[in-house]
Structure 1
């Protein structure tokens, strides 16, 4: 930042200004510290920083950069530093990707809500285990459950779905929200319930980032204690097999679990007119659908 001391004092001659200057190059100055003084007239530093240069009647200041705290978001080990970018953290744990999130983040312990639902969790009856926790509910979110979330100060909520008219309210919620199934009134699928039951009580990071089109997906990362024996790496190139349980993402943003019953060798003509490589999946409701391979995920791999 350039401070024109000459203009401030009405002095054009650098030699005449020199006796007025109270700092030297290299000096650290606080905001409102005196840079120069003439009688009762004082020139104060507009920023906190360091004096870089005094050139003629100008004083050049380098403003001190403000500190920014950046959370790692998970427990792990720094395995790489990237200058001017950040670090790479390696962790071991379980990952659940959601269909929608409200763009917020929470780090806390996972707790299942009572079978009566979030709406029945009153302040005077609330167990301390729930305060500040990430609450899992098997039922769709409602206006009342969103109000309960705010009143009880839950760090976050994992739910299967919510109606379209509640999206704005969910985005304004004080905690993070992740939907496992999508927009509507769907209940939580059995594989997701079983996964969450297996990690209840553990600390987790709920990153509810979401972008339309899938460029960012809401995620739940559950850390496990680091051990000497590392788990097997994920099978990224695993091919679909008959009988495999998969998760199918639909065009409306929802998802459904099912079992692979066939994998045709040739592309399949879909209702939208596209001819794509597909697998035939029998959903939990008994419906048989052809799903593009790009829309199919294999849980646990």
Structure 2
């Protein structure tokens, strides 16, 4: 039986459709048919912060129902410190005032809720494209065509710049390769902190690599630019098909979306190189069943990081761990065949 596993979409020309949604109701800023760029804000919402809850009923010395009837402000009103919130007439006039500047969020059951701060939540396009559909108050769906390379990890952030694809950071004479400010650097492996020195020196816009040393993960998180790791942490095979695709995109404008929150929406950090041509391929789903002939990467074991093709789907096999798992026979580039638990594979959707 074939197991559902994760898919990394990799394609030279594919139809790309992405949904961008706010976590709470807000305001959509674009319309169907609008052209957008990677950094464009598509929707925004205001999130209350610094919340204060006042017991108005206690302050007035009345019941909750009576306090609600004494309200002088309604939810949504802007407040200044000292503004009257409620007033109760009687032998003595009793009042409750706003303790700080803010906005009244709620007034019910004898309580007033005031937000003294507001946080703006936004969603960006993450790639150049066209708005295809609107989800009122929440977000949009955008569409694009082009080359797509999805990765295993991103450190956050979005950029749109030309690609600079290099085998190595040194010239034939052993000198440092000069880079241009604002480029997205693409290199096979990041195993030295020197790369982060170059990022600062040349003010690079982004970084794409197949493998990142685990010791440098914190440096990558703090780099201040979007970073995409295609294959994972450690060392392994550089996918020749993907490397050839990236080399063919040398100097082309690309959008890098390294947001780590994409997994919540069934998406991955990704690099998009816009382009039109013949009919584009259909994108694979975020997960798919393993099948004979698929290209896969091995995630664990002696062959970790290597790429091959599924040659057979096998019955459960007992492993050294003492557990039995459905297995897959994978043929590596060397021609060798290995048996791998199906759960330890990721499909490279080409």
Measured against the shorter chain, the TM-score band is: 0.5 to 0.7
Alignment of 1:47 with 2:101, yes or no, is yes
Hey, what's the Cα distance between the residues in 2 that align with 1:146 and 1:118? Answer: 15
The Cα RMSD (Å) is 4.7
Hey, what's the Cα distance between the residues in 2 that align with 1:140 and 1:51? Answer: 49
Of 86, 98, 120, 1:67 maps to 120
Which residue of structure 1 aligns with residue 169 of structure 2? 117
Which residue of structure 1 aligns with residue 342 of structure 2? 293
Cα offset, 1:190, TM superposition: 0.8
Cα offset, 1:136, TM superposition: 0.3
Which residue of structure 2 aligns with residue 281 of structure 1? 330
Cα offset, 1:185, TM superposition: 3.5
Which residue of structure 2 aligns with residue 16 of structure 1? none
Of 143, 168, 184, 1:134 maps to 184
Which residue of structure 1 aligns with residue 209 of structure 2? 159
Cα offset, 1:284, TM superposition: 2.3
Hey, what's the Cα distance between the residues in 1 that align with 2:227 and 2:105? Answer: 47
Structure number having the greater helix percentage: 1
Counterparts of residues 149-298 of structure 1 (less than 5 Å): 149-186=199-236, 188-200=238-250, 201-209=252-260, 219-222=269-272, 224=274, 231-234=280-283, 240-241=291-292, 244=293, 246-251=295-300, 255-260=305-310, 262-264=311-313, 266-298=315-347
Hey, what's the Cα distance between the residues in 2 that align with 1:189 and 1:179? Answer: 13
Which residue of structure 2 aligns with residue 20 of structure 1? none
Hey, what's the Cα distance between the residues in 1 that align with 2:104 and 2:149? Answer: 48
**What SS class does the counterpart of residue 199 from structure 2 fall into?**
helix
Hey, what's the Cα distance between the residues in 2 that align with 1:276 and 1:288? Answer: 18
Hey, what's the Cα distance between the residues in 2 that align with 1:106 and 1:240? Answer: 34
Q: CA contact under 8 A between 2:163 and 2:254: conserved in structure 1?
A: no
Larger RCO, structures 1/2 (Cα 8 Å, 6+ apart): 2
Hey, what's the Cα distance between the residues in 2 that align with 1:31 and 1:81? Answer: 35
Q: CA contact under 8 A between 2:296 and 2:346: conserved in structure 1?
A: yes
Hey, what's the Cα distance between the residues in 2 that align with 1:199 and 1:226? Answer: 13
Cα offset, 1:30, TM superposition: 6.3
**What SS class does the counterpart of residue 138 from structure 1 fall into?**
strand
Cα offset, 1:196, TM superposition: 1.9
Which residue of structure 2 aligns with residue 144 of structure 1? 194
Q: CA contact under 8 A between 1:205 and 1:221: conserved in structure 2?
A: yes
Q: CA contact under 8 A between 2:148 and 2:271: conserved in structure 1?
A: yes
Q: CA contact under 8 A between 1:163 and 1:184: conserved in structure 2?
A: yes
Hey, what's the Cα distance between the residues in 1 that align with 2:194 and 2:167? Answer: 16
Cα offset, 1:29, TM superposition: 4.6
Q: CA contact under 8 A between 1:183 and 1:254: conserved in structure 2?
A: no
Structure 1: stretches of 5+ with no match in the other structure: 13-23, 37-42
Q: CA contact under 8 A between 2:168 and 2:187: conserved in structure 1?
A: no
Q: CA contact under 8 A between 1:181 and 1:256: conserved in structure 2?
A: no
Hey, what's the Cα distance between the residues in 2 that align with 1:49 and 1:25? Answer: 10
Hey, what's the Cα distance between the residues in 1 that align with 2:240 and 2:346? Answer: 16
Which residue of structure 2 aligns with residue 107 of structure 1? 159
Cα offset, 1:69, TM superposition: 3.1
Q: Which has the larger radius of gyration?
A: 1
Hey, what's the Cα distance between the residues in 1 that align with 2:242 and 2:142? Answer: 26
